[in-house]
Amino acid sequence: MTQALTARRIGILGGTFDPVHIGHLRSALEVAELMQLDELRLLPNARPPHRDTPQVTPQSRLAMVRSAVANAPQLSVDARELTRDKPSYTIDTLESLRAELAPEDQLFLVLGWDAFCGLPGWHRWEELLQHCHILVLQRPDADVEPPFELRNLLAARSQSDPTAMSGPAGHISFVWQTPLAVSATQIRQLLASGKSVRFLVPDAVLAYIEAHDLYRASN
Ligand code: ATP
């Protein structure tokens, strides 16, 4: 007798993580718990070399994300976009991920509302849902209308309960979450002005920043 296959549930949260901070990590953990994911992967995006913060290489961004999730069993890091020599389109990343998964595995692409609204500008955006579900993070107090191009897609594909999305791909749902008031921009600014970022980033990330003297004005 063949054993029933258990589909894995994998989430993907892309970002520049320059540096990763507690806002990213709380949000990722809450999504992983709500959705009962087997794994939520933080996926650092490549950026054109001239756009990386001076003195902060993709390898440093990656090292910080790795150290941030080292003790969080639900969270992991996927470095595939940093191992390519140019920034990747999300559709390429999804195809590459899919090639490694079983056909029944469920893939959830986690996007903030702003990113979701920009979807119609993405390369081959209409194919994204062939490979994944989309989970849109929305603030509880938000009162926003999706752009015109997304209305038909939402009407056809959205599901009110994110935990009820079935199958490997194809649906859109919303997770209502209050983000912590922290951004990487704020962290870079604090460090550049010589201030502490303790408690805004995990201690291991703080230790990395200090050991490598990152984000300081003199860099
Ligand atoms: P920057 O300030 O440099 O623009 P950022 O802090 O917004 O950076 P990104 O790496 O651009 O961080 O974000 C990656 C993902 O995490 C995005 O989807 C973004 O919406 C989300 N995110 C950023 N900050 C928070 C936060 N405080 N809480 C929850 N999610 C966040």
pTM strictly above 0.75: yes
Which ligand 1 atom is the nearest neighbour of the CA of 187? 2
What's the pLDDT at 4?
Answer: 56
Q: At what angle do helices 203-212 and 58-69 cross, to 10 degrees?
A: 150
Report residue 38 as tokens.
């087997």
Give me ligand 1 centre to Cα 213, in Å.
22
Contact indicator for 34, 138 with CB cutoff of 8 Å? no
CA 219 – CA 166 distance, rounded (Å):
48
What homologous superfamily does CATH list for 2-211?
A: HUPs (3.40.50.620)
What's the pLDDT at 169?
Answer: 98
Burial of 107 (0-12, 13-18, 19+ CB in 10 A): buried
Give me ligand 1 centre to Cα 212, in Å.
23
CA-nearest residue, atom 15 of ligand 1: 15
Name the residue ranges covered by the structural domains of the chain. Answer: 2-211
CA-nearest residue, atom 30 of ligand 1: 24
CA-nearest residue, atom 25 of ligand 1: 23
Alpha-carbon separation of residue 210 from 140, 214, 219 (angstroms): 36, 7, 13
pLDDT per residue rounded down to tens, the chain (219 residues): 555 578 999 999 999 999 999 999 999 999 999 999 999 999 999 988 788 888 899 999 999 999 999 999 999 999 999 988 787 899 999 999 999 999 999 999 999 999 999 999 999 999 999 999 999 999 888 878 888 989 999 999 999 999 999 999 999 999 999 999 999 999 999 999 999 999 999 999 999 999 999 999 865
